[in-house]
Amino acid sequence: MLAMTACTQAEPSLPKVSASSSPIEVAKMKALEDYMNAMQKGDRKRLMELSNPRLDARPVIDEKVKSIGNRPWLNVKTTWRETVAATVPSADITATDASGNKIADQVGLDFDGEKWEISMGDPQPTG
């Protein structure tokens, strides 16, 4: 597992990217950074843009924004969990908000061959 930490600050706390990271690692970290930033802002539209379009993310986004979003996260710690396929990692995120409430989230990511997408929700109906 790869652990990342971010500094404590009053504005959204995001993971740091190493200068020696590969372009695909940088893109993965950027996708997670964009997710965390959008979640802290409660930006449902941006969260939908970041989501895997093959999944119905709206209900999950609504629940996550209600429970952990719309506020800055402090003392953010991110632990990556690599699965059998390196194109399907997940990140465990822990933090606190300004009131000291604990925030815990798990985010899966998919690489579609061109970009990283956040995996949330059930498959979209076909037909």
The better pLDDT of the pair 87, 107 is held by 107
Residue at 111 is within a domain: yes
CB 65 within 8 A of CB 47: yes
Report if residue 74 sits inside a domain.
yes
- Asked whether the predicted pLDDT for residue 78 surpasses 90, the reply is yes
Residue tagged 């429970």 (tokens): 67
Asked if residues 65 and 44 have their Cβ atoms less than 8 Å apart, the reply is: yes
* Confidence band for 109, pLDDT divided at 50, 70 and 90: very high
Task: Dump the DSSP string for 26-66.
Answer: HHHHHHHHHHHHHHHHT-HHHHHHHB-TTEE-HHHHHHHHH
Its domain, for residue 104, covers 2-121
Residue 126 belongs to some domain of the structure: no
Q: What is the pLDDT of residue 86?
A: 60
- Contact indicator for 90, 77 with CB cutoff of 8 Å: no
SS3 category, 2: strand
Q: What's the whole-number mean pLDDT along residues 62-74?
A: 97
Residue 127 falls inside a structural domain? no
CATH at residue 34: 3.10.450.50
Lowest mean per-residue pLDDT among 1-5, 48-52, 81-85, 113-117: 1-5
Count of domains in the chain? 1
pTM of the entire structure?
0.82
pLDDT in tens, 9-61: 344 444 555 666 788 889 999 999 999 999 999 999 999 999 999 999 999 99
Residue 109 backbone phi and psi in degrees, to 5: -125, 145
